[in-house]
């Protein structure tokens, strides 16, 4: 049993694409899997064609228990369920701020799902502040997609520094390269240097592929639509490595 948070301060780095595809692979292996979409934009929910009930409001989420349970929806794939996002998650930061023990609140809310699901994937929105610490508490592992640019690497270093400062275990963080374009020299150089120098980084990486971009149209995980594609084998490698680094 593990809770994975797919997290990055930066937007558009492939968090949701990673969540959708690794969670799908996990479920396809027969493990009961839950995706929790806490991004108010609801991209993960969108990919699974799932809408939240209108009544599902942020205050309700923070109560946890039954309300969340009623809002979980089955995806079209065996063993894979999803807790949809809701526009009101936009104010999650504010709401958490008003509460006691606000930094551990999400952990407490997600706790009961550990009984029903073997693995939980949390798709995080970018730019979250208070929610971040909640996520770091709730998750067993933080998966961080990195686009191979200098700026990206700097924010990653910042995240590690933040973990140190706040005394979170930094070995929970597993970063990997995402949207890698081999034809760009910078990408090639960074990959070459970092994959040999930074042992904490995952070796598997996700290349930049048109099939992944098209997920917005097909509204299906790319590993389902194109099971033999390059993109699929990259996600499989990634999931395999995550399992062997985190779960074994």
Partner 1 sequence: MQPIETYNIQARTDLQAVREKIMDNFSTMLEGSEKNSECYYDTFDWRLYQNNVVLKQEVDRIKLCNIDSEQAIAARKINIDKSSIFWWDLPDGALRDRLSEILDVRALIKRIDLVRNVTRIRILNEDEKTVLRVALHELMFDRDTPLREEMYALTISPVRGYAEEHADFVSFIESCGVAGKAKNLFLSMADRLQYEVGAYSSKIDIRLDPSMQSDVAVKMIIKSLLSVMRQNEEGIRNDIDTEFLHDYRVSIRRTRSVLSQIKGLFLPELSSRFRAEFKILGNMTNRLRDLDVYLLNENQYKEILPESLQNGLDNFFKRLKAERKKEHDSLVKYLDSPAYDELMGSWQRFLESAQPADDSELIQAAVPVIDLAGEVIRHRYAKLVKIGQKIDYNTPNDKLHKLRIQCKKLRYLLEFFSSLFPQENYNVLVKRLKTIQGTLGDFNDYSVQQRKLLAALKEEDQQDDRFYLLAAAMGGLITHLHHQQLRCRETFSSIFSEFINQETNQLFEDIFDQS
Ligand X SMILES: Nc1ncnc2c1ncn2[C@@H]1O[C@H](COP(=O)(O)OP(=O)(O)OP(=O)(O)O)[C@@H](O)[C@H]1O
Binding site for partner 1 (CB under 8 A): 48-51, 70-74, 76, 81, 219
Nearer to ligand X, 12 or 74 (CB): 12
- Name which of residues 32 to 61 contact Mg ion (CB under 5 A): 43
Q: Is 163 an interacting residue with respect to ligand X (CB under 6 A)?
A: no
Instruction: Please tell me whether residue 39 binds ligand X under the rule CB under 6 A.
Output: yes
Alpha carbon distance 245, 37 (integer Å)? 24
Per-residue contact track with ligand X, 170 to 199, x per CB under 6 A?
A: --------xx--------------------
Rounded least distance, CB 111 to ligand X, Å: 25
**Binding-residue pattern over the window 210 to 229 for ligand X, x denoting contact by CB under 6 A:** --xx-xx-------------
Say which entry of Mg ion, partner 1, ligand X, none residue 81 contacts (CB below 5 to 8 A, set by partner kind): partner 1
Note whether 3 binds ligand X by CB under 6 A.
Answer: no
CB of 100 to Mg ion, least distance (A): 30
Four-CA torsion 231, 234, 235, 237, nearest 10 degrees: 160
Q: What are phi and psi of 8, to 5 degrees?
A: -165, 145
């Amino acid at each position: 049993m593990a809770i994975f948070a797919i997290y990055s301060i930066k937007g558009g780095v492939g968090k949701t694409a990673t969540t959708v595809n690794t969670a799908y692979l996990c479920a396809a292996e027969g493990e009961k899997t839950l995706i929790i979409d806490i991004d108010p934009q609801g991209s993960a929910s969108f990919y699974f064609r799932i809408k939240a009930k209108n009544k599902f409001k942020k205050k309700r989420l923070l109560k946890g228990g039954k309300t969340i349970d009623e809002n979980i929806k089955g995806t079209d794939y065996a063993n894979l369920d999803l807790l949809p996002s809701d526009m009101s998650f936009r104010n999650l930061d504010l709401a958490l701020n008003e509460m006691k023990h606000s930094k551990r609140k999400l952990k407490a809310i997600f706790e009961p799902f550990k009984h029903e699901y073997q693995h939980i994937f949390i798709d995080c929105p970018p730019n979250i502040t208070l929610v971040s610490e909640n996520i770091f508490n709730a998750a067993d592992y933080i998966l961080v997609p990195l686009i191979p640019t200098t700026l990206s690497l700097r924010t990653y270093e910042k995240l590690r520094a933040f973990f140190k400062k706040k005394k979170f275990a930094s070995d929970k963080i597993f970063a990997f390269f995402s949207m890698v374009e081999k034809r760009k020299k910078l990408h090639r150089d960074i990959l070459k240097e970092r994959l040999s120098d930074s042992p904490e980084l995952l070796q598997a990486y996700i290349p930049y592929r048109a099939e992944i971009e098209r997920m917005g149209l097909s509204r299906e995980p790319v590993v389902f639509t194109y099971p033999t594609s390059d993109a699929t084998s990259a996600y499989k490698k990634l999931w395999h490595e995550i399992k062997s680094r985190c779960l074994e």
